[in-house]
């Protein structure tokens, strides 16, 4: 390629590497055609471009085929040399939306110039921010028409970034100057005119002052006569800086306010030009008023501290940064028998027990090196020669500037507490021994419900490990059907403080579930809040099996009793039919009484014949009447559990009263109502007083004879239970008052909820 040129390609001869590349390029498929056939206008501009060292490119023809020189190659990056001859839109597709309007202007005959234009290019396989300064110029062919465009450009990415970094650094420095903790001011000329001040300087002299551009004597007139203006004049005249420490200055920090004294550390530094001539002064320093006041307060505080420490019940000590003890309170000397000559420095270690001396000294030295608080317990010799346990606790002291000043600590005699702790350890050991000896499962939980102790029986029974059971792991041993029931109850007990008790199934190590009765009581602290719970679980699996067997027997007995009642009912019906009409009312009354007795038996059977709730007994007896919308009952009274004999007697009495009311009384008309109410009379022998009262029924007249129902009520309550029955046939309705003693044999069982 460097031999003889093909005729017509001499315009590519001085084009460097790009000229050679163009000569070797296959132009047969290009819209531009072969170079030797290019128009002279294109040849001229290409020759100009190739011989220039400045980055340039040409976009020619309808497709704007892309031609560029050696200077442009670094801009192309990885797109070189494949972009040669390709359409402009394809070469720079990622920025085409940005430059297309500029290209159109050039093709329309308008040249454009752009400085530091931002473009996001993908010239090396990834997007990157770039900036360019360039011009787009139209290029005309031999006909005078615009055949393409010409671009001379330079990449200014580095310059733009450098300027941005410089501005950012200047802004940062300006912000640092503004926010610097020390006050700063730049003064220029012999009159010391304020050019720059930061926020700290304005805070010192007063924020409301407008001092920029003013001489210092005009901006701060109240400083006149305090020597500062003279100092500035001297620094400016001599070029020697001035440094002052704890200098007092009077400033009027608010308009119209009195002059306020402040204390400053101050430096006046001359600012010179290249020839060494002073052009201004840089003033910098710190307002140390608070520090000076604090130092004064500190001296006063130290005097108070020593007075307080000497009279404190604890032993107080102070060290310097080198760990040397410089102060021991009077109580130290009284306790140990040491004197300042024997105790200060490191002499205090002589009062520490020989077995504790080395390691306690090491703890102290390590804390002093790390400047960290420490707390340790060691034995301290008393003046009488006996040793007592003591707590030594200390914290580092720091100055206002953060410098380490040493330690201040206190020593407290805890011999009595140690004895209590020893007794507590013995008590805990005894508690563990006792709980591990019992066959029951014993546990202790914190106030949040997490288990903190389980005796050995628990682990033996459940097969859990200690790490599996503590916390809330114990719940895995509870039967899933019981867990959902007892966990909310356990939560409620912890919140209310009520005793936690009930029954649940616990899984044995072999996988079988066994019933246990559990009970736990809270232990409260001196403030009344619950600190922990103590609980026990007792195996009641055999009792549960016996109770289940008992329930089966009771159900079987109830079934047989019902069968017997059915037989009695059939025999009575048959007997009455033989002596008369089988539909006689006596037969119906007898059957109703048997039915009421059977319903009362059902209630008692559900309760294993241990007793029944009075309200439930009454509801069972009057339930046939409640089904009728015209029959109304009002039933109210406290919860009361009766033994079976009392429950059956009251059930039969209520039945007789309801039957009579349905025939003749308040239940025989739609407007009628029966009120059943009872109360407990807390005498020496508690009594149940139950009142049956009919209202809004037909007029009532006393019966001419006592019926079987009346005799049944009186016999059941008066004779069998020792109670009293008063029947009153009031015109407004029948009233029956039953007064039943609730003795151990005839009476009441307290209702208890189970969980």
3-state secondary structure 523-568: EECCCCCEEEEEEEEEECHHHHHHHHHHHHHHHHHHHHHHHHHHHH
Q: Is 90 exceeded by the pLDDT of residue 652?
A: no
The answer for residues whose C-beta is within 8 angstroms of residue 656's C-beta and 6 or more apart is 593, 709, 710, 712, 713
CA distance 666 to 101: 104
CA distance 162 to 221: 45
Candidate from 427-431, 607-611, 706-710 with smallest mean pLDDT: 607-611
Average per-residue pLDDT for the chain: 83
Q: What secondary structure letter does DSSP report for 716? A: I
Is 66 exposed, middle or buried, given 0-12, 13-18 or 19+ CB atoms closer than 10 A?
buried
Other beta carbons within 10 angstroms of residue 647's beta carbon come to 23
Q: Is residue 754 part of a domain?
A: no
Asked if residue 695 and residue 617 are part of one domain, the reply reads yes
Residue that is written with structure tokens 């007793």 in the block: 611
The CATH number given to whatever domain includes residue 492 is 3.30.450.20
**Count, residues in the chain:** 755
Confidence bin at 679 (pLDDT 50/70/90): very high
pLDDT of residue 242: 94
Confidence bin at 107 (pLDDT 50/70/90): very high
Q: Is 50 exceeded by the pLDDT of residue 220?
A: yes
Asked if residue 685 and residue 613 are part of one domain, the reply reads yes
pLDDT of residue 519: 93
Q: Are 370 and 378 in contact (CB under 8 A)?
A: no
pLDDT of residue 381: 94
End-to-end CA distance of the chain: 104
The pLDDT tens digits for 128-157 are 999 999 999 999 999 999 999 999 999 999
Confidence bin at 4 (pLDDT 50/70/90): very low
Asked if residue 573 and residue 589 are part of one domain, the reply reads yes
Asked if residue 297 and residue 283 are part of one domain, the reply reads no
pLDDT of residue 132: 94
The answer for residues whose C-beta is within 8 angstroms of residue 69's C-beta and 6 or more apart is 15, 16, 18, 49, 50, 52, 55, 56, 57
Q: Is residue 173 part of a domain?
A: no
Q: Region 101-110: what's the mean pLDDT?
A: 94
The pLDDT tens digits for 38-93 are 999 999 999 899 988 999 999 999 999 999 999 999 998 888 888 899 999 999 99
Is 215 exposed, middle or buried, given 0-12, 13-18 or 19+ CB atoms closer than 10 A?
middle
Structure tokens at 476: 């895995």
The pLDDT tens digits for 252-273 are 888 888 998 999 999 999 999 9
Is 238 exposed, middle or buried, given 0-12, 13-18 or 19+ CB atoms closer than 10 A?
exposed
Query: Quick one: which of 156, 155, 79, 86 has its CA closest to 123?
Result: 79
Q: Is residue 455 part of a domain?
A: yes
Q: Are 228 and 221 in contact (CB under 8 A)?
A: no
Strand, coil or helix: 503:
strand
Q: How is 401-456 classified by DSSP, letter by letter?
A: TS-EEEEEEEEEE-HHHHHHHHHHHHHHHHHHHHHHHSSSEEEEEETTS-EEEE-H
For 4-26, b/e burial (b = at least 16 CB within 10 A) is eeeeebebbeebeebbebbbeee
Q: Is residue 299 part of a domain?
A: yes
CA distance 22 to 13: 10
Candidate from 109-113, 210-214, 551-555 with smallest mean pLDDT: 551-555
Share of the chain above pLDDT 70, in %: 85
Confidence bin at 626 (pLDDT 50/70/90): confident
Structure tokens at 585: 């009312």
Asked if residue 580 and residue 715 are part of one domain, the reply reads yes
- Which of 482, 509, 538 is a domain's end point? 538
pLDDT of residue 1: 39
Asked if residue 365 and residue 331 are part of one domain, the reply reads yes
- Which of 413, 433, 463 is a domain's end point? 413
Structure tokens at 622: 């009057």
CA dihedral 443, 449, 451, 452 (to 10 degrees): -100
Q: Region 330-343: what's the mean pLDDT?
A: 91
Phi, psi of 147 (to 5 degrees): -105, -10
Confidence bin at 584 (pLDDT 50/70/90): low
CA distance 189 to 213: 11
Asked if residue 744 and residue 675 are part of one domain, the reply reads yes
pLDDT of residue 83: 87
Q: Is residue 595 part of a domain?
A: yes
Confidence bin at 30 (pLDDT 50/70/90): confident
Asked if residue 642 and residue 623 are part of one domain, the reply reads yes
- Which of 413, 435, 466 is a domain's end point? 413
Q: Which residue has the higher pLDDT, 625 or 410?
A: 410
Q: Are 122 and 78 in contact (CB under 8 A)?
A: no
Q: Region 700-705: what's the mean pLDDT?
A: 73
Q: Is residue 185 part of a domain?
A: yes
Query: Quick one: which of 55, 58, 54 has its CA closest to 43?
Result: 58
Q: Is 50 exceeded by the pLDDT of residue 2?
A: no
Our measurement of the distance from residue 368's CA atom to the centroid of its chain's CA atoms, rounded to an integer in Å, reads 36
Q: Is residue 528 part of a domain?
A: yes
Asked if residue 191 and residue 281 are part of one domain, the reply reads yes
Q: Is residue 52 part of a domain?
A: yes
Domain count, the chain: 5
Q: Is 80 exceeded by the pLDDT of residue 570?
A: no
Q: Which residue has the higher pLDDT, 686 or 628?
A: 686
pLDDT of residue 137: 94
Partners of residue 137 on adjacent β-strands: 150
The answer for residues whose C-beta is within 8 angstroms of residue 401's C-beta and 6 or more apart is none
Q: What secondary structure letter does DSSP report for 222? A: G
Asked if residue 409 and residue 424 are part of one domain, the reply reads no
Q: Is 80 exceeded by the pLDDT of residue 717?
A: no
Q: Which residue has the higher pLDDT, 641 or 279?
A: 279
CA distance 590 to 601: 17
Asked if residue 283 and residue 299 are part of one domain, the reply reads no
Q: What secondary structure letter does DSSP report for 156? A: -
Strand, coil or helix: 228:
helix
Range of the structural domain that residue 687 is part of: 546-749
Asked if residue 220 and residue 104 are part of one domain, the reply reads no
Q: Which residue has the higher pLDDT, 210 or 308?
A: 210
CA distance 342 to 345: 8
Q: Are 490 and 449 in contact (CB under 8 A)?
A: yes
Confidence bin at 609 (pLDDT 50/70/90): low
Question: pTM to 2 decimals?
Answer: 0.34
Q: Is 90 exceeded by the pLDDT of residue 97?
A: yes
Q: How is 103-126 classified by DSSP, letter by letter?
A: HHHHHTT--EEEEEEEEEE-SSSS
Q: Is 70 exceeded by the pLDDT of residue 250?
A: yes
The pLDDT tens digits for 435-452 are 888 888 898 999 888 988
Residue that is written with structure tokens 């008066």 in the block: 718
- What's the angle, vertex CA 502, arms to CA 500 and CA 505, rounded to 5? 125
The CATH number given to whatever domain includes residue 712 is 3.30.565.10
Q: Are 472 and 485 in contact (CB under 8 A)?
A: no
pLDDT of residue 707: 58
For 476-510, b/e burial (b = at least 16 CB within 10 A) is ebbbeebeeebeeebeebbeeeeebbbbbbbbbee
The answer for residues whose C-beta is within 8 angstroms of residue 599's C-beta and 6 or more apart is 620, 621, 623, 651
């Amino acid at each position: 390629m460097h031999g003889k040129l093909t005729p017509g390609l001499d315009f590519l001869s001085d084009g460097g590497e790009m000229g050679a590349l163009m000569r070797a390029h296959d132009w047969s498929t290009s819209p531009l055609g072969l170079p030797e056939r290019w128009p002279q206008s294109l040849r001229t501009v290409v020759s100009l471009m190739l011989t220039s060292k400045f980055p340039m490119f040409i976009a020619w023809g309808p497709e704007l085929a892309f031609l560029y020189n050696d200077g442009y190659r670094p801009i192309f990056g990885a797109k070189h040399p494949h972009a040669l001859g390709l359409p402009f839109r394809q070469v720079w597709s990622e920025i085409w939306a940005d430059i297309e309007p500029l290209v159109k202007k050039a093709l329309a005959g308008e040249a454009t110039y752009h400085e530091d234009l931002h473009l996001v290019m993908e010239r090396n396989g990834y997007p990157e921010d770039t900036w360019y300064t360039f011009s787009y110029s139209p290029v005309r062919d031999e006909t005078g028409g615009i055949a393409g465009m010409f671009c001379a450009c330079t990449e200014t990415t580095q310059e733009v970034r450098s300027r941005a970094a410089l501005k950012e650094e200047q802004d940062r420095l300006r912000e640092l100057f503004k926010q610097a903790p020390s006050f700063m001011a730049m003064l220029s000329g012999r009159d010391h005119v304020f050019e720059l001040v930061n926020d700290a300087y304005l805070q010192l002299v007063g924020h409301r002052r407008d001092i920029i551009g003013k001489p210092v004597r005009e901006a701060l007139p109240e400083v006149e006569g305090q020597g500062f203006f003279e100092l500035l004049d001297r620094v400016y005249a001599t070029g020697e800086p001035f440094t002052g420490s704890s200098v007092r200055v009077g400033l009027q920090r608010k308009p119209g306010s009195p002059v306020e004294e402040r204390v400053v550390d101050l430096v006046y530094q001359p600012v010179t030009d290249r020839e060494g001539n002073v052009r201004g002064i840089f003033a910098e320093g710190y307002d140390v008023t608070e520090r000076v006041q604090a130092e004064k307060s500190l001296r006063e505080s130290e005097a108070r501290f020593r007075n307080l420490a000497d009279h404190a019940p604890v032993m107080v000590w102070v060290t310097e940064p080198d760990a040397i003890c410089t102060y021991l309170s009077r109580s130290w000397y009284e306790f140990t028998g040491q004197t300042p000559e024997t105790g200060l420095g490191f002499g205090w270690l002589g009062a520490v027990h020989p077995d504790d001396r080395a390691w306690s000294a090491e703890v102290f030295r390590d804390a002093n090196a790390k400047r960290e608080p420490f707390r340790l317990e060691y034995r301290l010799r008393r003046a009488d020669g006996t040793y007592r346990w003591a707590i030594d606790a200390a914290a580092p002291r720091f100055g206002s500037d953060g410098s380490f000043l040493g330690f201040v600590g206190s020593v407290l005699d805890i011999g009595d507490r140690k004895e209590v702790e020893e007794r507590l350890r013995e008590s805990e050991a005894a508690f563990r021994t006792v709980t591990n000896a019992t066959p029951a499962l014993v546990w202790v939980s914190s106030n949040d419900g997490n288990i903190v102790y389980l005796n050995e029986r628990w682990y033996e029974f459940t097969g859990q490990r200690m790490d599996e059971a503590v916390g809330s792991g114990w719940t895995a041993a509870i039967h899933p059907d019981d867990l959902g029931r007892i966990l909310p109850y356990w939560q409620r007990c912890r919140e209310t403080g009520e005793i936690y008790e009930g029954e649940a199934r616990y899984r044995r190590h072999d996988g079988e579930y066994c019933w246990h009765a559990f009970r736990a009581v809270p232990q409260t602290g001196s403030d009344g809040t619950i600190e922990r719970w103590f609980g026990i679980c007792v195996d009641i699996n055999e009792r549960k099996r016996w109770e289940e067997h008992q329930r089966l027997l009771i159900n079987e007995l109830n079934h047989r009793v019902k069968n017997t009642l059915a037989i009695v009912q059939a025999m009575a019906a048959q007997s009455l039919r033989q002596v008369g009409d089988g539909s006689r009312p006596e037969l119906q009354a007898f059957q109703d009484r048997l039915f009421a007795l059977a319903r009362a038996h059902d209630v008692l059977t559900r309760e294993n014949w241990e007793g029944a709730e009075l309200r439930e007994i009454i509801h069972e007896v009057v339930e046939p009447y409640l089904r009728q919308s015209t029959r109304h009952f009002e039933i109210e009274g406290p919860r009361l559990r009766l033994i079976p004999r009392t429950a059956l007697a009251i059930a039969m009495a209520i039945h007789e009263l309801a039957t009579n009311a349905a025939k003749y009384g308040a239940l025989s008309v739609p407007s009628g109502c029966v009120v059943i109410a009872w109360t407990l009379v807390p005498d020496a022998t508690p009594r149940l007083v139950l009142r049956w009262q009919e209202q809004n029924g037909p007029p009532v007249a006393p019966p001419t004879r006592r019926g079987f129902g009346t005799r049944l009520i009186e016999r059941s309550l008066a004779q069998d239970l020792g109670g009293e029955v008063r029947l009153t046939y009031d015109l407004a309705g029948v009233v029956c008052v039953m007064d039943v003693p609730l003795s151990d044999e005839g009476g009441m069982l307290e209702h208890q909820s189970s969980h």
